[in-house]
Amino acid sequence: MKRLILAIVFITFTSIVFGQKKKEVKKYKIKALTVTSTENGKTINDSRTVFGTTGEAIEEINYDKNGVVKSTIKYKHNSEGDVLEEAEYDEKGTLKEKRSFKYNSLGEKIEELITDTNGKLVKKNVYTYDGKGLKSERKSYDGNNNLISVKKYSYEYK
């Protein structure tokens, strides 16, 4: 029963974190959002998101089940608010990997590069879109630019 309650609380808090729209963050001048859970009278941090002045998330801290920092992700955005770079750090603050993103003139993500701590390319994802601007395909390549997978997206309409 406790697990069910915890699951419901976690889902509720997760939807709150992702439910904060950029304009709401700006309107209410929200600087950070911390999600906690309470079990057996003990309150533990789940996550903390820090927002920049334009309303985008600039840092996300994730905690383990004991409330100890598990990872930190720092974001850099372009003037349109798109994420240009994500840098993920471990619990000690050591860089684990970096993701950089490229967008087309319509603001659609067309490329994602994943590099290791030394800046060496580990993986590349290339995205294509259909005439309606819906994602149609993602091709994934390894660090040597060898195709490793293709994911196709198809949509059904009413």
Per-residue pLDDT of the chain (158 residues; tens, 9 = 90+): 444 444 444 444 444 444 568 889 999 999 999 999 999 999 999 999 999 999 999 999 999 999 999 999 999 999 999 999 999 999 999 999 999 999 999 999 999 999 999 999 999 999 999 999 999 999 999 999 999 999 999 999 99
The neighbour count for residue 117, using CB atoms within 10 Å, is 11
What's the domain range around 83? Answer: 2-152
Task: For residue 157, tell me if it sits in a domain.
Answer: no
Q: Tell me, what CATH number does 125's domain have?
A: 2.40.128.720
Task: For residue 97, tell me if it sits in a domain.
Answer: yes
Interior CA angle at 85 toward 83 and 89, to 5°? 125
What CA–CA distance (Å, rounded) separates 56 from 54?
6
Query: Number of folded domains in the chain?
Result: 1
Task: For residue 158, tell me if it sits in a domain.
Answer: no
Task: Take residue 26 and report the two structure tokens written for it.
Answer: 């700006």
- CA nearest neighbour of 83 among 72, 75, 73: 75
